[in-house]
Structure 1
Amino acid sequence: MLPAPSPDLLPGTAALREAAAAWLAELERERRFSANTVEAYGRDLRQFLAHLARTGENPDIPALVALKPRDLRGFMAARRAEGIGGRSLMRALAALRSFARHLDREGHGTVAALSAVRSPKVERRLPRPLPVPAAVAMASPDIRAGEDRAPWILARDAAVLALLYGAGLRIGEALGVRRRDAPVNGIDTLTVLGKGGKTRMVPVIAPVQGAVAEYLALCPYALSPEGPLFVGAKGGPLSPRIVQLAVASLRGALGLPDSATPHALRHSFATHLLARQGDLRAIQDLLGHASLATTQLYTKVDAARLLGAYAAAHPRA
């Protein structure tokens, strides 16, 4: 695998590196892409340019404008041979098309070959929610009471997971909450900064408020109002990896499959609301989905569950 991208280390001419740096900055500053997406797009561009260099092409701006469809298909075939899946290839094409549009806007010309190459077909995977008892247990510190961990850390992990399941947050959204915005002392809503820099307001139910209050009561650090609500063992910002490890421990205790991840709690939030006749548009707003089609995946999850129950229980199934 190639190392993480840096515009200064991209194969090609100085003009190409300068254009790439301006493109990545535009994605982050103007398009407000997440840092992870910007990093992935930059890595995709670097991998493509490295492929061109290995095949004898000169990776500069005129060469990109003059690309042939066979160049892109060759890159995709090489990546597939390395074991790269359809989703990653689809993102790589999206990154190249984005960079091509940037070059076009800057007056370098149109990369016509990109319009002649189809994105790989990728079947949308259905979300894999947890059963209600498992989701509730994950957000409780009691299930980990026997671990040799400080009580405040167990309470912290429980509060983070309570926000994922009780408010449908992404892990990055939960860890991005500031101390001054903590949903405690009667505050029953939370303004969340989601993907694309979009904000949304979500309700916070009493059990989640209680979990956050329990964590704050036990936390040994004086948290700055403008600093993160959730901190690590040494008082710095809490890493998502720590939450993932906590969930892995809970998977073992509860006998859950590997699909029981922090993000599965967000899936569970949506699926369980929908199963209780929650309004699809309201769930879309709560999750911060830009498209209703994304939220509609959860209707398929519920239908699949009902069909599974029918097949397992009906005498003539």
Structure 2
Amino acid sequence: MTLDISPAARTALADWLDHAKALREASDNTITAYRADVIDFIAFLTQHHAEPQGLAPLARVTTSDMRAWMAHLRRTEIGPRSMARKLSAVKTFYRWLADREGFEPTAVLATRAPKFQKKLPRPLSEEAARAMIDTVEIQSTTSWQGARDAAVVTLLYGCGLRISEALSLTGRHLPLTDSLRIVGKGNKERVVPVLPVARRAVETYLSLCPFPPERDVALFRGARGGPLNPRLIAKVTEQARMQLGLPATATPHAMRHSFATHLLHAGGDLRAIQELLGHASLSTTQAYTAVDQVHLMKIYDACHPKAG
């Protein structure tokens, strides 16, 4: 998208994105979203004021401008969650720009995001998670592909991996030991334990796979030997959940949610679960506690000194 903005403003936007990537350890996807959201905001200001947007006009944004922008977003019929994300990106940019250019960004920072109800994770029961792994294995037409799909889903549930993390494994991770070093979002590294059942699942897949593992090549291969497409895992998971009569929320990511919830059920420490999941903040992990308040209250009643 080309915008009628000054070279100084364009440079400021690029510098901010570089800053976010270097110091905030933002992922490539986050940087792409930041860029798109701030450019959309500047494009609106350009049209709203019918003039080019340089550093000086950006510093003069008023409460009225912000209200007009929010009204514009509502007219585009995007959801409140997306509106909140766009506003968050603009606020982050303005905090950085105001500090660098020395102006007061109150009009931007005081703008309130629309309220929306956060969607809580919907984990599977332990029985359903096991059934999902077993059923995924029989969805493919060849035994090696079935073993591959079962191994991937087992890693999601047994290690709490994101689908992108599981599919980023290469031959250099072999042989699997009792722990695995994962590079997750924001290039943050963590170590996760690998259960024997997960190791066996991967070993079974490797014994059947017609493509020998290579050090710098994806561990999980597609039918022609290329890296496995995550959409294929989503497809076989969908087929399995329909066969099992599970809800539409029984997705590959739900296996990761289930990993965290079942650890919590077993008395796992929330901080430890945060580390295993690779969450940047505890508040993200705390979302998992909301899925079973009854269980947490039972622990509270049994363990709190005043409970008796």
| 1:168 paired to 2:160 | yes
Q: What stretches of structure 1 move > 4 A for 4+ residues in a row?
A: 304-307
Query: Structure 2: how far apart are the matches of 1:13 and 1:139?
Result: 55
Matched residues in 2 for 1:254 and 1:145: separation?
Answer: 12
Structure-1-length-normalised TM-score: 0.84
Give the stretch that moved more between structures: 261-270 or 108-117.
Answer: 108-117
CA contact (8 A) 2:178 2:194 kept: yes
Provide the residue aligned with 1:22 in structure 2: 15
Match of 1:130 among 124, 127, 148: 124
Residues 233 and 13 (structure 1), Cα distance of their counterparts in 2 relative to 1, 3 Å cut: farther
CA shift in 2, pair 1:304/1:121, >3 Å: farther
Q: 1:146 to 1:172 in 2, by over 3 A?
A: closer
How far apart, CA to CA, are the structure 1 residues paired with 2:233 and 2:197? 19
Q: Name the SS of the counterpart of 1:55 in structure 2.
A: helix
1:73 aligns with 2:70: no
Question: Corresponding residue for 1:194?
Answer: 184
- Structure 2 length-normalised TM: 0.86
Aligned to 1:12: 5
Is 2:93 the partner of 1:90? no
RMSD: 2.4
The corresponding residue for 1:154 is 146
Counterpart of 2:261 in structure 1 is: 271
Answer whether contact 1:183 1:189 (CA < 8 A) is retained.
no
1:106-255 matched pairs, under 5 angstroms: 106-107=100-101, 109-140=103-134, 142-145=135-138, 147=140, 149-182=141-174, 184=176, 187-255=177-245
Gaps of at least 5 residues in structure 2 are: 298-308
SS at match of 1:139: helix
> Which residue in 2 is equivalent to 1:311?
none
Residue 101 (str. 1) matches residue 101 (str. 2): no
Looking at structure 2, the residues matched to 16 and 102 of structure 1 have their Cα atoms a distance apart, in angstroms, of 13
Which of 280, 283, 302 matches 1:290?
A: 280
Moved more, 129-138 or 52-61: 52-61
Q: Secondary structure at the match of 2:222?
A: coil
> Percent identity of the aligned residues?
46
| Contact 1:103–1:110 under 8 Å retained in 2 | no
Query: Which shifted more, 256-265 or 16-25?
Result: 16-25
Query: How has the CA–CA distance of structure 1 residues 113 and 291 changed in structure 2, closer, same or farther, with 3 Å as cutoff?
Result: same
Unaligned runs of 5+ in 1: 1-5, 308-317
Change (3 A) 1:117 1:214: same
CA distance in 2, matches of 1:236, 1:108: 51
Matched residues, number: 296
Q: Secondary structure of the residue that 2:182 maps to in structure 1?
A: strand
Partner of 1:280: 270
Q: 1:49 aligns with which of 29, 42, 58?
A: 42
How far did 1:305 drift? 7.1
Provide closer, same or farther for how the CA distance between residues 18 and 220 of structure 1 changes in structure 2, counting only shifts above 3 A: farther
SS in 1 for 2:191: strand
Separation (CA, whole Å) in 2 of partners of 1:106 and 1:231: 48
